[in-house]
Structure 1
Amino acid sequence: MYLRKVNGPRAVRLPDGRVMTRADLPAPDTRRWVASRKAAVVRAVRHGLIDRAEAIATYALSEEELDEWMAAADRGGERALRATARRRHN
């Protein structure tokens, strides 16, 4: 079995006890960003699975977009990351 060389950890333990691995992240070519995929990226950045720069580069995000996702997750969790929730608050 061959494990690809990656920077940083391959897995992290979340505060609720679950383990998150790089396999839990959305595909790099993701175009449809549903709330669960956004939440996975936010969790990965927050808990050190990937750093901000890697998330921005891998998913072609802007700094502002990632900041919006993180702020929305702080306000209301995964539900706040839904596109309809964003429209309601604007």
Structure 2
Amino acid sequence: MKTGAGLVRLSDGSLLSAADLPPWDTTRWVASRKLAVVRAVLYQLRTQEEVLETYSISGEEFCDRVNCLATNGPSGLKIT
């Protein structure tokens, strides 16, 4: 994954970098890992296409994660 800035500032003032993203071979998707990947796309650290390919997740699954985050906040990612 190489697209986008190397470091982005999130709306809460915290920083997100490529080092904060889970490894490409992640199999256990806890809420914090889902959140990092969704934020990477929302803040243009990575493209959606990149994360779908890198993490072998479907577009539908990614959209579900975005919707859960928008609707329920980060805790909503515990149920997807």
TM-score range, shorter chain: over 0.9
TM-aligned CA deviation for residue 15 of structure 1 = 1.0
> % of aligned pairs identical?
43
Greater Rg over alpha carbons, structure:
1
5+ unaligned residues in a row in structure 1: which ranges?
none
Which letter does structure 2 place at the counterpart of 1:51?
T
Aligned length: 80
1:34-73, aligned counterparts within 5 Å? 34-73=30-69
1:35-83 per-residue CA deviation (whole Å, 9 max, x = no partner) reads 1100111111100000100010110010000000000000111111113
Match status 1:29 vs 2:29 = no
Q: CA–CA distance in 2 between the matches of 1:7 and 1:78? A: 25
Q: TM-score, normalised by structure 1?
A: 0.83
Secondary structure, aligned partner of 2:46: coil
Please list every run of at least 4 consecutive aligned residues from structure 1 whose deviation after the TM superposition is greater than 6 angstroms. none
Superposed displacement of residue 34, structure 1: 0.6
Q: Which residue of 2 aligns with 1:74?
A: 70
Unaligned runs of 5+ in 2: none
The match for 1:15 is 11
Select the structure with the greater relative contact order (CA < 8 A; seq sep ≥ 6): 2
Secondary structure of the structure 2 residue equivalent to 1:8: coil
